[in-house]
């Protein structure tokens, strides 16, 4: 069935990978891509789609109800990525997180209901479940786990999840929520740990490791995440939540050692810096519902190969991250790392 999609946040890391996947695997679908081009939105992420008649980029804010209303009148499905996405920035200033993640989602939902949208996929995060202990490795987040967000970012995402849930419960809207673990792959903004560490090492700068480095994340390749979103869009049940994860848990120290090894650098490049405030200890996702009910499984996430390809991508695309790391990024970096790295 041919679809007309409104993708929000499609100039960011995951959104741009998703738009590319749709244009490749669903060539008869049409995509309108609404993105405000905040600091993390980048049209260079979509350069290969220039001139594609089935991809239309619109610069605009999801909080602008008039723009959203106009675009939704021409679409039948919404896939909602647009958000402030970096935990450290939410600790510095949570205002933009409430504005885009909470208010923006409410505006999209209200307009989508009036426009009778066929399906509304809300892209959320495992961070809404809070933190797991290190000493109980058998514990993982399921869709029934309690929401216990710990950072302002996670709290804003949990609030948006609850608005989406309420839109289904109260108005019968055909909403679906996905909650995914940490993504890696091409076009990730270099404030996030993997592109930050790789680009620092290329510049021969040390890498800032928070606290004891034992915090654990569950890493999934961005294309596996995008395929999961496409799967729930086509086959998911309205009102449901689907966890998405890679079964690929690593401590930050293990991740750092792996990156150092791949780049031929030594442990002397590690700078231990002050821990992130409220730093969640461990995330681990049980994605068996998505796997058994909808038949999704990750195919691109296995380490060390997948990590090596990602490291190589940043080595091969120096111009891309060098442009991103200039300008306003420098101010953020100074503020975050206080001249330590
Ligand atoms: P990103 O920061 O790279 O991209 C976010 C995009 O949203 C940017 O292009 C930005 O310009 C746009 N945007 C922000 N506010 C907007 C607004 N008010 N109006 C219109 N556009 C706006 O983030 P990402 O890593 O690609 O994350 C995308 C989504 O996936 C987010 O909702 C995030 O919570 C979720 N998520 C991310 C991960 C991860 O590991 N990166 C994992 C799970 C879920
Ligand atoms: O779990 C999904 C989430 O993954 C998404 O919802 C978020 O949008 C995404 O940013 C990511 O959040 P994290 O906080 O886990 O990602 P980040 O890359 O910022 O950090 C990963 C780990 O690395 C975390 O434990 C903190 C640590 N870290 C991070 C930075 C930036 C460091 O040790 N040093 C750093 O400089």
Residues 6+ apart with CB under 8 A from 98: 156, 159
- Phi, psi for residue 273 in degrees, rounded to 5: -120, 170
Distances (CA, A) of 44 to 14, 92, 330, 338: 14, 27, 19, 30
Q: What is the 3-state secondary structure (H, E, C) of 127-160?
A: HHHCCCCCCCCCCCECCCCCCCCCCHHHHHHHHH
- Distance from residue 182's CA to the centre of ligand 2 (Å): 8
Give 88 Cα–ligand 2 centroid separation in angstroms. Answer: 8
Residues near ligand 1 (Cβ within 6 A): 8-9, 11-15, 35-38, 40-41, 61-63, 81-85, 100, 104, 123, 125, 157, 180, 182-183, 189
- Report the half-sphere exposure of 227 (CA within 13 A, side-chain side): 18
Within-domain flag for 103: yes
Q: Is residue 146 part of a domain?
A: yes
Residues ≥6 apart with Cβ < 8 Å to 156: 83, 84, 90, 94, 97, 98, 101, 102
In a domain, 262, yes or no: no
In which element (H, E) is residue 270 found? strand 270-273
Whether 280 sits among the annotated catalytic residues: the reply is no
- 331 is annotated as an active-site residue: no
Q: Which of 35, 61, 126, 218 is catalytic?
A: 126
Number of CB atoms found within 10 A of residue 270's CB: 19
Rounded distance, CA 258 to CA 256, Å? Answer: 5
The answer to whether residue 323 is domain-embedded is no
How far, in Å, CA of 78 to CA of 142, rounded?
Answer: 25
Residue 97's domain spans which residues? 4-185+220-247+282-300
User: For the chain, how many structural domains are there in total?
Assistant: 1
The whole-angstrom separation of Cα 11 and Cα 82 is 9
Helix residue spans in the chain (DSSP H): 13-25, 65-72, 87-92, 95-97, 104-114, 152-171, 193-202, 222-235, 252-262, 288-294, 305-316, 318-324, 328-337
pLDDT tens for each residue of the chain, 341 residues long = 889 999 999 999 999 999 999 999 999 999 999 999 999 999 999 999 999 999 999 999 999 999 999 999 999 999 999 999 999 999 999 999 999 999 999 999 999 999 999 999 999 999 999 999 999 999 999 999 999 999 999 999 999 999 999 999 999 999 999 999 999 999 999 999 999 999 999 999 999 999 999 999 999 999 999 999 999 999 999 999 999 998 999 999 999 999 999 999 999 999 999 999 999 999 999 999 999 999 999 999 899 999 999 999 999 999 999 999 887 778 888 888 887 77
Is 100 within the bounds of a domain? yes
Q: To test ligand 1's pocket by mutation, which of 81, 161, 186 has the most ligand atoms within 8 angstroms of CB? A: 81
Residue of minimum CA distance from atom 16 in ligand 2: 192
Ligand nearest to the CA of 68: 1
Q: Is residue 203 part of a domain?
A: no
Half-sphere exposure of 316 (CA within 13 A, CB side): 9
User: Among this protein's residues, is 223 annotated catalytic?
Assistant: no
Q: Reduce the DSSP state of residue 328 to 3 states and report it.
A: helix
CATH number at residue 174: 3.40.50.720
Q: Do 55 and 27 meet the contact criterion of CB atoms below 8 Å apart?
A: no
Q: Answer yes or no: is 209 within a domain.
A: no
- Nearby residues of 312 by Cβ (< 8 Å), 6 or more positions away: none
Instruction: Note the ligand closest to the C-alpha atom of 336.
Output: 2
Percent helix / strand / coil, the chain, rounded to 5: 45, 20, 40
From the CA of 86, how far away is ligand 2's center (Å)? Answer: 7
Give strand pairing partners of 178: 123, 242
User: pTM here?
Assistant: 0.98
Q: Is residue 330 in some structural domain?
A: no
Distance 32 CA to ligand 1 centre (A): 16
Q: Give the CA distances from residue 109 to residues 60, 171, 175, 268, in Å, rounded to whole numbers and listed in that order.
A: 17, 11, 9, 49
Residue 77, H or E segment: strand 77-80
- Closest ligand to the CA of 220: 1
Name the token pair of 242.
Answer: 């689907």
Q: Which atom of ligand 2 is nearest to the CA of 218?
A: 1
Residues near ligand 2 (Cβ within 6 A) = 85-87, 125-127, 181-182, 192-193, 196, 208-210, 215, 217, 252, 276, 283
Residue 330 neighbours by CB under 8 Å, 6+ apart: none
């Amino acid at each position: 069935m041919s679809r007309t999609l409104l993708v929000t946040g499609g100039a960011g890391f995951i959104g741009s990978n998703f738009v590319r996947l749709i244009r490749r695997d669903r060539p008869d679908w049409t995509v309108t891509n609404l993105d405000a081009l905040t600091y993390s939105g980048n049209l260079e992420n979509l350069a290969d789609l220039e001139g594609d008649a089935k991809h239309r980029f619109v610069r605009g804010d999801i909080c602008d109800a008039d723009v959203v209303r106009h675009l939704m009148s021409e679409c039948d499905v919404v896939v909602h990525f647009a958000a402030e996405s970096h935990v450290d920035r939410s600790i510095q200033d949570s205002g933009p997180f409430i504005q885009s993640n909470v208010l923006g989602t409410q505006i999209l939902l209200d307009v989508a209901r009036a426009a009778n949208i066929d399906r509304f996929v809300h892209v959320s995060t495992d961070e809404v479940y809070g933190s797991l202990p290190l000493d109980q490795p058998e514990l993982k987040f399921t869709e029934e786990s309690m929401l216990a967000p710990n950072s302002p970012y996670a709290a804003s995402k949990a609030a948006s999840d609850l608005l989406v849930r309420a839109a289904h419960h109260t108005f019968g809207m055909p909403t679906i929520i996905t909650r995914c673990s940490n993504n890696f792959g091409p076009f990730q903004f270099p404030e996030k740990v993997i592109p930050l560490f790789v680009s620092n090492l290329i510049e021969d700068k040390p890498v800032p490791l928070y606290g004891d480095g034992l915090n654990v994340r569950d890493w999934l390749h961005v294309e596996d995440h995008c395929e999961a979103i496409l799967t729930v869009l086509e086959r998911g049940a309205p009102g449901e939540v689907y966890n998405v994860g890679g079964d690929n848990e690593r401590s930050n120290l293990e991740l750092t050692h792996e990156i150092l090894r791949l780049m031929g650098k030594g442990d002397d490049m590690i700078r231990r810096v002050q821990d992130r405030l409220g730093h969640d200890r461990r995330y681990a996702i049980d994605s068996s519902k998505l796997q058994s009910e909808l038949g999704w499984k990750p195919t691109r996430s296995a380490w060390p190969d997948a990590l090596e390809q990602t490291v190589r991508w940043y080595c091969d695309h120096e111009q891309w991250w060098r442009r991103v790391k200039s300008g306003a990024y420098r101010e953020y970096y100074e503020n975050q790392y206080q001249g330590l790295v």
